[in-house]
């Protein structure tokens, strides 16, 4: 059974495979100097102890796709397509290759963000999953 790290890395792989994404590091650095880039990870969860040695997790993972914010009209055109393409990656594989039982819900937001003190524009996806983890 997959771990929380496995699921976060799978989401990162999906984001990194999007056409136009220039970086999707497994371990996010303090600052990035290439755009667009993606950073993904675990945000929060609810754990239920299951049979001995396992737990059930309803978890929320996050994936942020950042585009440099210099020329709003141009940057908007660059950033918008990532929303549909990333959602398609998630929805076409709701078990993430068997790493989770299922994706329950995806909440995309198109927002102004910052990364390493730099203003960006892009997508913030919250991805709720159901999974079982072996302890």
CATH classification at residue 116: 3.30.2000.10
Identify which of 83, 90, 132, 88 has the alpha carbon closest to the alpha carbon of residue 108.
83
Question: What percent of the chain has pLDDT above 90?
Answer: 77
Its pTM surpasses 0.85:
yes
Residue 129: the pLDDT is 97
Identify which of 115, 109, 112 has the alpha carbon closest to the alpha carbon of residue 127.
109
Q: Which domain holds residue 50?
A: 4-134
What contacts 15, CB < 8 A, 6 or more positions away? 21, 24, 38, 40, 63, 65, 86
110 near 83, Cβ under 8 Å?
A: yes
Asked if pLDDT for residue 42 goes beyond 80, the answer is: yes
Domain count for the chain: 1
């Amino acid at each position: 059974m997959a771990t929380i790290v496995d699921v976060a890395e799978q989401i990162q792989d999906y984001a990194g495979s999007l056409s136009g994404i220039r970086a999707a590091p497994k371990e996010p650095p303090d600052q990035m100097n290439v755009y667009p880039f993606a950073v993904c990870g675990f945000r929060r969860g609810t754990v239920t102890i299951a049979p001995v040695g396992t737990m059930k997790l309803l978890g929320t993972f996050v994936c942020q796709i950042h585009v440099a914010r210099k020329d709003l009209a141009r940057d908007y055109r660059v950033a918008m397509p990532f929303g549909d393409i990333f959602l398609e990656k998630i929805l076409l594989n709701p078990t993430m290759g068997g790493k989770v039982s299922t994706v329950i819900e995806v909440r995309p937001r198109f927002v102004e963000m910052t990364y390493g003190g730099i203003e960006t524009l892009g997508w913030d996806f919250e991805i709720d999953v159901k999974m079982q983890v072996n302890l």
